[in-house]
Structure 1
Amino acid sequence: MIVSDLHEKTSLPDPAAPWHHQAIAHVLQVFQTDEQQGLEGPEVERRQQFYGPNEIEAGRGRNTWEIFLDQFKNVMLIMLIVVALISGVIDFVELRANALPEGTVPFKDTIAIMAIVVLNGLLGFMQESRAEKALAALKKMSSPQVRVCRGGQFSEVKAAQLVPGDLMFIEAGSQLSADGLVLEAAQLQVRESALTGEANPVTKRICPVGLAADTPLGDRQNMVFSGTEVLQGRGKILVTATGMSTELGKIAQMLQSVKASQTPLQKRMAHLGKILVTGSLILVILVVVFGSLQVGNFSRIKELIEVSLSMAVAVVPEGLPAVITVTLAIGTQRMVKRQALIRKLPAVETLGSVDTICSDKTGTLTQNKMVVQRLETQDQSLRVTGEGYAPIGEFLSQDQNLNPTQHPEVQQLLRACVLCNDAVLKQDDQDWLIIGDPTEGALLSLAGKGDLFAEALQKEWPRLGEFPFSSERKRMSVICAMPNPDQAESTAAYLLCCKGSPELVLERCQTYQTATGIFPLQAEDRAAILQRNNEMAQAGLRVLGFAQRCLTYVPEAQAEVNAEQEMVWLGLVGMMDAPRPEVKEAVAKCRAAGIRPVMITGDHQLTAQAIAQQLGIATPDAKALTGLELSKLSQVDLEAMVETVSIYARVAPEHKLRIVQALQSRGKFVAMTGDGVNDAPALKQADIGIAMGITGTDVSKEASDMVLLDDNFATIVAATEEGRVVYTNIRHFIQYILGSNIGEVITIAAAPLIGLSEVPLIPLQILWMNLVTDGLPALALAIEPAEPDVMQRRPFNPQESIFARGLGAYILRIGLIFSVISIALMAYSYNAHPDNWKTMVFTTLCLSQMGHAIAVRSRTQLTLTSNPLRNPYLIIAVAATTILQLMLIYVEPLRLFFDTQRLSGQQLLICLGVSTLLFVWVELEKLVIQWYWAWKNPPKSR
């Protein structure tokens, strides 16, 4: 419930107000909340009635019956339903008049056609019946119990009962259930990556006078948000927004506002249906009009109606929906083997049209693990190798391996990384895991690469005191007992190790450590250290400074001001959420395939630029557009920029949605990858949404079309390749099926026009051809392997018609040739074999399609020169279909049901001979194409 339009009338605060910008005292006054007592019971009830429950509201979607009935709005199915009804009416009239031919089963055409209609409807229903679960997943992102203070009494209440103005108490492990202002914080760190995309935990602090009004969501340190998780510390929070007014609720509203659009394949199939039905109706009108005029009266209306019904059945490729569904399912299975899980079948083909991939950074392009990459002492500038938290890697100085144990200044820096640390590094099932702050975990991994491990070192140097990190101090110090007190200073039995902001740690240092000893810090030394710190920060690294000091005593808990002075500078450590090693190659493959990668992240600008440059997403001079800059742009201005900007940093959820919409308005076909709640609206808006399977939230997965099971960006490239193969194969079997259907329609239409008294094919026989004779070879064509250059060509244009690139001309041309062959046979057999002419036409049509299926695999390569085992399923399908067709002629029950006649050996040979002519024609076309290309591209003379 949004209450911004009512709050003034009720004197209740507006949850949508920028509370991060207000002073704490003012906010408490507006919410009428006592900082110690909280709200009183009656006031809580009043606010619950006004604001409603603290829940995510789900919009109304289509119910099961609506989804099922929508399947029968397809124009081809509507035409089949009309045909079935007319056929049923004719059978009913003839049955009442006892005019049905002897042995004819009444209503069998009607029943068969309606069975196909229902089957196709069920296939469509199965694809769409998966209920939208993204909002349901959002609703789960709040803890069931929350600790509050009301009327001075502490209690636990259900999250749904929270109201704006409540005092909420949180601690490590808490899942936040509302947005709120921080009133008290003790080492409070919150993981907000699911909401903002920020890789690092956010330290929360009290801001008595508030922050700037335009502070980005990820930088609002005085606020906590619903759906995030407390990693450490504790805090007291004034609830400022609940339910749909929270940042999580705003994402839910965006999800509800995004309307599902048809995929390119669905649009092409709808266009195909309209063309086929329109063409069929035109042919029906022509046949009825000219057939009637031919005899000068309307005495043959019944025959002409039967012809029209057969034509209508023939023009509709009844098996096409089933073949497409099975083809997409096969593509789905192929993709699963390549670690891509397809949630919505049409997405398989959609991937082939993607020309822009908008990728989140954290966990998608990167490992979602902080990894130390650089280490700086006064003597050494080292690059550190390794992946993840595994303590395996090298220290490289100018690409030469350096042994830290032989360099005391490096060894002391690594020791400080371990001692001044609260995290735990452990190995679990061959993988290294971190318990605690990821930044501190990266330091333990770094020390492990230098053969220093916390378990042994912390026993040898036991901690006796600590000055904890705070947002004001921006540093942490520990005091440890020395195992062997310094002999030069026998009174120094303790060591203070400090880490934190390089600038603040450095200003408390008087000397620095080198391999040969300790020397005074001069002004030029300080300037050089700060310069290196700036260089590392500009490279996107998170930099920490380290120092130490020998002590003769253990300081008091509040004595940090005196203890953290006159320290010895040890060096700098730079880390980042490192790129996945395989992503750079994947980005290069994307570019080779005509696909442009774009980074959209909630992380900092410098970090985003550094990662994008490393991966080849952007050039070193490429500009990053920040969320603050983006929010000041109109949608028109943004649309003018999106084709040149490849890095978006510090963006909010609504920014991601705007970027995707802007790209789509420029005609781009967009895939969006992501793993957080903040990505869900953009995932749903994108032409194909791709969620992370391991790190992805339930919300992002439910809003997506595809899930990467290995969270590997490179898997997108593999899935795109499969999408291109699927679409290519769909075009192959569509040209096969429709070329055959056009031939059938023209053959049936020609029968009354050349003076034949009967329709050559009944609807049941046409259904057999469209479902079985077309269907089995089409399925085999659907699993043709990929062509070698599939990832070296531009993406398919999502706006192109299914008939584009010569496919329409091919279908018409082959349909005409097919019909000429069939009409010639029909005219011959009607006179030469009057008892069996219809069965001969039926058989020739079916067997001709087998030769067409074999030839249609390639537009240029002759069948005799291709490898027959490249797709053995096609040979099996052709053989099986031929046997089934012969069974309809020679197996008595089937022959009677399908109204066929037994053919003699001579008649069957005639059918076989004529049916090869279509195959010969297609092969001759290939020879002409080969000759044409050889003429256009003659070999170069030496």
Structure 2
Amino acid sequence: MVDAKDLVPGDVVLLDAGDVVSADLRCLSAAALGVDESALTGESVPVDKDPGPNPAGSGLHERSAMLFKGTHVVRGSGEGIVVGTGLATELGRITELVEVADSGESPMEGHLRRLSWQLVWLTLALAAGIALAGTLTGRPVPLMIETAIALTVAAIPEGLPIVATVVLARGMLRMARDHALVEKLAAVETLGSTTVLLTDKTGTLTENRMEVERLTTAEATFSFDYSGGAVLDGGVPADPRSTPELRRALQVGVLCGNADYDPEEAKGTGDPMEVALVRAGSVIGLERAEQLRRYPEVAERPFDPSTKWMATVHRDGDGYFTALKGAPEAVLALTAKAGLAGRPMGEQDRSAFLRIAEDLAGEGLRVLALAAGPCSDPERVISGELAFLGLAALRDPPRAGIADAVDELSRAGIHVVMATGDHPATAVAIADAVGIAGPTSVVTTGEQLPEWQERCADGGTTGRRVFARVSPEDKLALIELFQRDGAVVAMIGDGVNDAPALVKADIGVAMGLRGTEVAREAADMVLLDDRFETIVKAAREGRVIFDNIRRFSVYLLSCNLAEVLVVALAIVVGLPLPLLPLQ
């Protein structure tokens, strides 16, 4: 065994489910190898890996022959040769982007700096004018110089920095009570000045957990109410005992895989899509451990990207049956029957089910087809007629309360913009679900971003709210574009790929529970409860703080200006000085 820190290019690394990839690897061999790259790309679904060629100029999500440092193997096994370690990895490149990114001064710091210089030049001009006017009216020159210096000092609001610090510190404490940990004092006010909130999707707007949203069988379409622990048929709870097609489809989903799910702890291990199927089965009482005891697995054909399906064989009394799942087009091509009734599967039926699958995919859902049938030869896995059982539509669902929070931010004048590495269809579906954009909104991809930037050079950035397939560099470019347009930009994210943008934004906000360590260290604020709604509270608090500082600034300046005007008026009209320099 070799420690990860001792790996060098050329070493060969063996990978199994549960491993964390310790360096950038070129895949040498793969057996149903699937890797969770959500921290790097924002892709919710595991990426299948194989030793084939990478397309020229491809993005991270298209490099199926590469395994990246920091990602997780969720299923299968394989071998890879080390091609990069340390800063020579994709993770290292992102680290370098974090180091060079600079957010500059906060809006309040900019306001105070400009105010300070304006006051300096204004008071110097007033002091010089008062000294000159007094000298011309015959007053002693030394007295006028002393008076000018004293007025210069008096006109500067020396208490403003102290008051601003106290107000910000109190605001920091109030935000901490609302589960927002502020790591930089100026960030307290900056969030209140925000006009654009750039947000990641996976783990920020969504749960970062796949779940079965719908199951379409040959007879009906069912939806799932996980909070209520029920399956719905047309909005009405369905009885699994009277819907055998539902039970059989979910049974196949539970058996055909290697994932586990603990309903008590609400946690699963393994491929996220398989975990979602096992969780859906548990809603109607189909626990994987119990099902495997009743129907022991005797053979398995792992998922193969070339065939796009996986199958397992289970003993059922004196016989066997095959459980199959995979891409709809691949599974439908293997089935001869439809439903438990076993009616013949004609080409018209296949076309109808494929259209349903395409419609579901168009909504940003991931679709798996389920099938089962008797097996006469377990070694062949598929050795009998298979019956199509249904289409499982899965999604990484929006988090509760997101839509209300987005609506409140919009009413407060803060435009919410999504930038994700995920597929455009998925991005639009989630943006529509949470109220960021409509279902027909235009999506700008990372490849289209340079062209869009050129078009926005003179016309501003209004209109686009959804960006998909974007890299960490693309997120930096987006922030710079919005800032150049005069916006105060907040960035909220949780992954390694969000870290450069968190640093570059006027204020970076990271998730505290699910966020990576890199993201938390790069952020100015951490949401300890991972609730997007906390942003709304923090923005409200930031605006209160800004108003308090502005009011106190006006109060101090009005008092100091009154002193200057009283002395100036006395000199101009020839009256005795109401205040001597010492006073």
- TM-score tier, shorter chain, comes to over 0.9
Once the two structures are TM-superposed, the CA of residue 235 in structure 1 deviates from its matched residue by: 2.6
Once the two structures are TM-superposed, the CA of residue 628 in structure 1 deviates from its matched residue by: 2.9
Q: Secondary structure at the match of 1:620?
A: coil
Corresponding position of 1:336: 176
Q: Distance in 2 between matches of 1:350 and 1:293?
A: 48
Paired residue type of 2:9: P
Q: Secondary structure at the match of 2:321?
A: strand
**Counterparts of residues 789-938 of structure 1 (less than 5 Å):** none
Once the two structures are TM-superposed, the CA of residue 604 in structure 1 deviates from its matched residue by: 1.1
Deviations 1:681-739 (A, max 9, x none): 11222222221111111221222222222222222222111111111111111111211
Paired residue type of 1:542: R
Q: Distance in 1 between matches of 2:577 and 2:435?
A: 71
1:304·1:752 contact (CA, 8 Å) conserved in 2? no
Correspondence 1:508 to 2:354:
no
Change (3 A) 1:284 1:503: same
Q: Distance in 1 between matches of 2:339 and 2:462?
A: 50
Paired residue type of 1:584: A
Once the two structures are TM-superposed, the CA of residue 407 in structure 1 deviates from its matched residue by: 0.8
Correspondence 1:602 to 2:445:
no
Once the two structures are TM-superposed, the CA of residue 467 in structure 1 deviates from its matched residue by: 1.6
Once the two structures are TM-superposed, the CA of residue 578 in structure 1 deviates from its matched residue by: 0.3
Q: Which runs of 5+ in 2 are unaligned?
A: none
Once the two structures are TM-superposed, the CA of residue 163 in structure 1 deviates from its matched residue by: 3.8
Correspondence 1:654 to 2:494:
no
Q: Distance in 1 between matches of 2:260 and 2:456?
A: 45
Corresponding position of 2:103: 260
2:7·2:85 contact (CA, 8 Å) conserved in 1? yes
Corresponding position of 1:233: 76
Corresponding position of 2:442: 623
Once the two structures are TM-superposed, the CA of residue 259 in structure 1 deviates from its matched residue by: 2.5
Correspondence 1:479 to 2:310:
no
Once the two structures are TM-superposed, the CA of residue 758 in structure 1 deviates from its matched residue by: 8.9
Q: Distance in 2 between matches of 1:447 and 1:284?
A: 81
Correspondence 1:400 to 2:236:
yes
**Counterparts of residues 22-37 of structure 1 (less than 5 Å):** none
Deviations 1:419-452 (A, max 9, x none): 1132221256xx4111222211111211121122
Q: Distance in 2 between matches of 1:634 and 1:349?
A: 31
Paired residue type of 1:327: V
Corresponding position of 2:34: 189
Q: Secondary structure at the match of 1:526?
A: helix
Once the two structures are TM-superposed, the CA of residue 158 in structure 1 deviates from its matched residue by: 5.2
Paired residue type of 2:565: I
Q: Which runs of 5+ in 1 are unaligned?
A: 1-154, 486-491, 763-837, 839-942
Corresponding position of 1:348: 188
Q: Secondary structure at the match of 2:32?
A: strand
Deviations 1:791-818 (A, max 9, x none): xxxxxxxxxxxxxxxxxxxxxxxxxxxx
1:358·1:598 contact (CA, 8 Å) conserved in 2? yes
Q: Distance in 1 between matches of 2:269 and 2:284?
A: 21
Once the two structures are TM-superposed, the CA of residue 395 in structure 1 deviates from its matched residue by: 2.3
Corresponding position of 2:226: 386
Corresponding position of 2:278: 444
Paired residue type of 2:104: S
Q: Secondary structure at the match of 1:348?
A: helix
Corresponding position of 1:907: none
Deviations 1:897-922 (A, max 9, x none): xxxxxxxxxxxxxxxxxxxxxxxxxx
**Counterparts of residues 540-689 of structure 1 (less than 5 Å):** 540-553=364-377, 555-556=378-379, 559-560=380-381, 562-563=382-383, 565-630=384-449, 633=451, 635-637=453-455, 639=457, 642-689=461-508
1:638·1:659 contact (CA, 8 Å) conserved in 2? no
Paired residue type of 1:156: V
Q: Distance in 2 between matches of 1:178 and 1:237?
A: 10
Once the two structures are TM-superposed, the CA of residue 193 in structure 1 deviates from its matched residue by: 1.2
Paired residue type of 1:599: M
Q: Distance in 1 between matches of 2:31 and 2:578?
A: 91
Q: Secondary structure at the match of 1:366?
A: coil
Q: Secondary structure at the match of 1:511?
A: strand
Q: Distance in 2 between matches of 1:329 and 1:433?
A: 38
2:295·2:315 contact (CA, 8 Å) conserved in 1? yes
Greater per-residue strand proportion? 2
2:256·2:324 contact (CA, 8 Å) conserved in 1? yes
Corresponding position of 1:810: none
1:415·1:447 contact (CA, 8 Å) conserved in 2? yes
Which residue, 468, 471, 490 being the options, matches 2:302?
468
Once the two structures are TM-superposed, the CA of residue 173 in structure 1 deviates from its matched residue by: 4.1
Deviations 1:725-766 (A, max 9, x none): 11111111111121112123334556777564795463xxxx
Deviations 1:826-848 (A, max 9, x none): xxxxxxxxxxxx7xxxxxxxxxx
**Counterparts of residues 193-272 of structure 1 (less than 5 Å):** 193-207=38-52, 210-272=53-115
Corresponding position of 1:156: 2
Paired residue type of 2:326: G
Corresponding position of 2:167: 327
Q: Secondary structure at the match of 1:307?
A: helix
Once the two structures are TM-superposed, the CA of residue 572 in structure 1 deviates from its matched residue by: 0.9
Change (3 A) 1:630 1:289: closer
Q: Secondary structure at the match of 1:156?
A: coil
Q: Distance in 2 between matches of 1:177 and 1:399?
A: 47
Q: Distance in 2 between matches of 1:183 and 1:427?
A: 37
1:182·1:204 contact (CA, 8 Å) conserved in 2? yes
Corresponding position of 1:426: 262
Q: Distance in 2 between matches of 1:590 and 1:297?
A: 61
Paired residue type of 1:275: Q
Corresponding position of 1:531: 355
Q: Distance in 2 between matches of 1:198 and 1:307?
A: 68
Deviations 1:7-55 (A, max 9, x none): xxxxxxxxxxxxxxxxxxxxxxxxxxxxxxxxxxxxxxxxxxxxxxxxx
Greater per-residue helix proportion? 1
Compute the RMSD of aligned alpha carbons: 2.3
Q: Distance in 1 between matches of 2:332 and 2:503?
A: 48
Corresponding position of 2:122: 279
Q: Secondary structure at the match of 1:591?
A: helix
Corresponding position of 1:367: 207
Deviations 1:858-883 (A, max 9, x none): xxxxxxxxxxxxxxxxxxxxxxxxxx
**Counterparts of residues 1-12 of structure 1 (less than 5 Å):** none
Corresponding position of 1:744: 563
Identity %: 39
Q: Distance in 1 between matches of 2:462 and 2:138?
A: 65
Change (3 A) 1:203 1:296: closer
Q: Distance in 2 between matches of 1:273 and 1:237?
A: 59
Paired residue type of 2:57: D
Q: Distance in 2 between matches of 1:265 and 1:595?
A: 17
Deviations 1:453-509 (A, max 9, x none): 223222222222222222223222222222xx4xxxxxx622221111121111111
TM-score by length of 2: 0.93
Change (3 A) 1:178 1:743: same
Q: Secondary structure at the match of 2:209?
A: strand
Greater Cα offset, 652-661 or 468-477:
468-477
2:509·2:525 contact (CA, 8 Å) conserved in 1? yes
Q: Distance in 2 between matches of 1:365 and 1:175?
A: 25
Corresponding position of 1:310: 150
Which residue, 386, 389, 410 being the options, matches 2:246?
410
* Structure with more relative contact order (C-alpha pairs < 8 Å, separation 6 or more): 2
Change (3 A) 1:641 1:758: closer
**Counterparts of residues 773-792 of structure 1 (less than 5 Å):** none
